[in-house]
Amino acid sequence: MAGLPRVLLTGFEPFGGEPVNPALEVLHELSGERIAGHRVEPAALPVCFTDGPRALIEAIERVGPALVVCVGQAGGRARLSLERVALNLADARIADNAGAQPIDRALIEGAPNAYFSTLPVKALHASLNQHGVPAELSLSAGTYVCNAVFFALMHHLSTRRPEVRGGFIHIPYLPEQACRHPGAPSMSLATLAKGLGIAIGTALETPSDLVVAGGVEC
C-alpha cells in the first residue's frame, strides 16, 4: 500500500478539561485504512490557535494528500456535523491548551472573511444518512481552534494546493464523556469510525456535489 494516494485525516488532543477527545480516538481507529484506493494518514493536532494550524500545514506538506478531512469534538451536538463555512475570526470563550484566548481577532490578516468547504457536503450528508449514521449540514464551525484549523486548511488549499479538496467535520462526545455531562448526546466510537470512513469514501468518489436543497430558514 506504500504507493497508494493518501487522505490526510486530522484530530485534536483533549481540551476543556476532558480526559479524551473523540477526534483523536477515531484517528487511531482509521489510521492506515484503505478507502476507495487511498490510504488514510493520521495527524494529531494541538488545541492551540498558533500550533494547531501550523501542525496541519506541516502535515499537508509531508503527506501530499489528495483529500484532507479535519475532525473536531463538538460536545452537545448529536450528529456528525458537515461544516460548510470557515470564518476568518478567533473569538475564544475559553483559553486554548497553550493559554491563549484571542477575542475578535482575524486568524490571517489580509485573507478573505470566509471560505467554503470543498468537500461535497450534501453528498456526504445523503450517504451518511442512507447508511444509518446521523449527520447534518452545519453553517458554523464556531470561533475556537476547530474553526482556526478549518480556515487555515481552506486558505492553504486555495492559495497553495487548489487541486486538493478539504473540509471539516464536527463529531459528538463519546458515551463515556456524555456520562459526565447529563443530557448531552453521544455517539459510539464504532459509529464515528464508520461514519468518517463513509464520508471519506463518498468524498473521494464524488467529483461534484448534489444539487439539492440544504439550507435553513433561520
Closest CA to 26 of 136, 183, 170: 170
Q: Which residues are catalytic?
A: 83, 146, 170
Encode pLDDT of 64-82 as tens digits: 999 999 999 999 999 999 9
Mean per-residue pLDDT, 153-179: 98
β-bridge mates for residue 38, sequence order:
35
* pLDDT classification of 216: cutoffs 50, 70, 90: confident
Say whether 32 sits in a helix, a strand or coil.
coil
Cβ proximity of 80 and 170 under 8 Å: yes
Could you tell me the CA-to-CA distances from 31 to 10, 39, 146 in Å, in that order? 10, 8, 20
Instruction: Look at the pTM and tell me if it is higher than 0.85.
Output: yes
pLDDT at 2: 57
Cα–Cα distance, 53 to 57 (Å, whole number): 6
Mean per-residue pLDDT, 175-199: 97
pLDDT at 1: 46
